[in-house]
């Protein structure tokens, strides 16, 4: 905590007051400093007004029926979990059979098997993590791109605030790529949950009202090996019927999804990569 009770509040401290994030003691200390900081008072009032406006804007959603796309995405996620459970069960049975018939062979070549497993297991785990990441990106695309009233949480008119907010939530300075040369303009963005932490989604739209989304977030940040230097080339994935290109750069995953021909989507992905 900053011990200087006269120091101006930072943007992060103002965010903490708006979101009421922190211990009661810490928030009381911030409110005390706020009394002597007119600039922070004005900024805080603006952000609170914006927050209240967003809440009023989305208030009617509470009384709406769930979108069909969201219901479909939920069913797909549930089916995927059930399939995963079934395969894990079958995998356990298969492992028991292998153990029964292969004890002698394993005893003679245990060192080679252990070495192979130690190399392959992290690679398989990371491959599954990346596959799940692309699947989540495709589901998020399917759920939000059809929305007319609420496709994003924060619109392009508040781009500076959007970037600052999502950068703080994802723990990494973010940048919105400019795709106007490719005919796409920013609609806005939103915060989403992910298996390993917060995710961000930026949405773009062209003159024909066709939308593409950029989904991003940290990949496997808890890995003991770390992912700070990990990089992958572009990979094409048509998950859940949504074409997408994804890549990993310094431990951060990116997935660009949209109903476009593969070549055009690849050009957009390349433009995004060069700017980020």
Q: Averaged over 80-98, what is the pLDDT?
A: 51
Report the pLDDT value the prediction gives residue 219, as an integer from 0 to 100: 78
Cα distances (Å, whole numbers) of residue 261 to 103, 186, 211, 213, 257: 51, 20, 13, 15, 11
Of 75-79, 156-160, 194-198, 252-256, which range is least confident? 75-79
Confirm whether 71 is domain-assigned. no
Q: Averaged over 240-268, what is the pLDDT?
A: 89
pLDDT greater at residue 36 or residue 118: 36
Per-residue confidence at 106, pLDDT binned at 50, 70, 90?
Answer: very low
Report the pLDDT value the prediction gives residue 131, as an integer from 0 to 100: 75
Report the pLDDT value the prediction gives residue 98, as an integer from 0 to 100: 47
Q: Are the C-beta atoms of 183 and 207 separated by less than 8 Å?
A: yes
Of 73-82, 117-126, 202-211, which range is least confident? 117-126
N-terminal to C-terminal alpha carbon distance within the chain: 33
At 37, phi and psi to the nearest 5? -130, 85
The H or E element containing residue 214 is strand 211-218
**pTM score of the predicted model:** 0.57
Confirm whether 167 is domain-assigned. yes
Q: Are residues 140 and 30 both part of a single domain?
A: no
Other CB atoms within a 10 A radius of the CB of residue 35 amount to 10
Q: Are residues 138 and 51 both part of a single domain?
A: no
Q: Are residues 155 and 26 both part of a single domain?
A: no
Confirm whether 81 is domain-assigned. no
Q: Are residues 225 and 139 both part of a single domain?
A: yes
Confirm whether 86 is domain-assigned. no
Q: Are residues 137 and 259 both part of a single domain?
A: yes
Could you tell me the CATH number of the domain that includes residue 193? 3.30.200.100
Per-residue confidence at 17, pLDDT binned at 50, 70, 90?
Answer: confident
Q: Is 159 exposed, middle or buried (0-12, 13-18, 19+ CB in 10 A)?
A: middle
Report the pLDDT value the prediction gives residue 208, as an integer from 0 to 100: 94
Q: Are residues 158 and 47 both part of a single domain?
A: no
- Please say which residue of 38, 55, 72 terminates a domain: 55
User: Of 33-47, 99-113, 224-238, which one has max mean pLDDT?
Assistant: 33-47
Report the pLDDT value the prediction gives residue 21, as an integer from 0 to 100: 80
Confirm whether 109 is domain-assigned. no
Confirm whether 123 is domain-assigned. no
Confirm whether 166 is domain-assigned. yes
Q: Are residues 268 and 140 both part of a single domain?
A: yes
Report the pLDDT value the prediction gives residue 264, as an integer from 0 to 100: 92
Q: Are residues 36 and 145 both part of a single domain?
A: no
Domain extent at residue 46: 11-55
Of 13-17, 30-34, 59-63, 171-175, which range is least confident? 59-63
Per-residue confidence at 224, pLDDT binned at 50, 70, 90?
Answer: very low
Q: What is the pLDDT of residues 122-170, one digit of tens each?
A: 555 556 667 788 888 988 999 999 998 889 999 999 999 999 999 999 9
Q: Are residues 33 and 136 both part of a single domain?
A: no
Confirm whether 5 is domain-assigned. no
- Please say which residue of 19, 36, 55 terminates a domain: 55
Strand order in the sheet with 235-237: 154-155, 185-194, 197-205, 211-218, 252-258, 244-249, 235-237
Report the number of distinct structural domains present in the chain.
2
């Amino acid at each position: 905590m900053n011990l200087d009770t006269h120091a101006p509040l930072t943007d992060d401290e103002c965010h903490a007051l708006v979101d009421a994030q922190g211990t009661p003691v810490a928030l009381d200390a911030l409110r005390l400093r706020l009394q002597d900081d007119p600039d922070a008072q004005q900024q805080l009032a603006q952000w609170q007004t914006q927050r209240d406006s967003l809440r009023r804007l989305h208030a009617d959603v509470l009384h709406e029926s769930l979108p069909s796309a969201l219901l479909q995405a939920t069913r797909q996620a549930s089916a995927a979990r059930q399939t995963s459970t079934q395969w894990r069960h079958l995998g356990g049975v298969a492992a028991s059979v292998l153990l029964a018939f292969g004890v002698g062979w394993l005893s003679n070549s245990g060192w080679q098997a252990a070495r192979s497993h130690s190399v392959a297991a992290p690679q398989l785990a990371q491959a599954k993590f990346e596959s799940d990441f692309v699947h989540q990106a495709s589901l998020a695309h399917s759920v939000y791109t059809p929305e007319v009233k609420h496709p994003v949480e924060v619109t392009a008119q508040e781009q500076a605030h959007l970037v600052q907010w999502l950068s703080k939530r994802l723990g990494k300075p973010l940048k919105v790529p400019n795709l106007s040369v490719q005919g796409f303009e920013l609609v806005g963005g939103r915060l989403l949950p992910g298996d390993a932490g917060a995710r961000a989604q930026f949405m773009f739209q062209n003159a024909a009202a066709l939308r593409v989304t950029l989904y991003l977030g940290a990949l496997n940040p808890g890995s003991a090996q770390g992912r700070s230097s990990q990089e992958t080339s572009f990979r094409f994935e048509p998950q859940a019927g949504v074409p997408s290109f994804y890549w990993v750069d310094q431990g951060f995953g990116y997935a660009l999804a949209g109903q476009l021909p593969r070549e055009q989507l690849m050009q957009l992905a390349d433009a995004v990569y060069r700017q980020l």
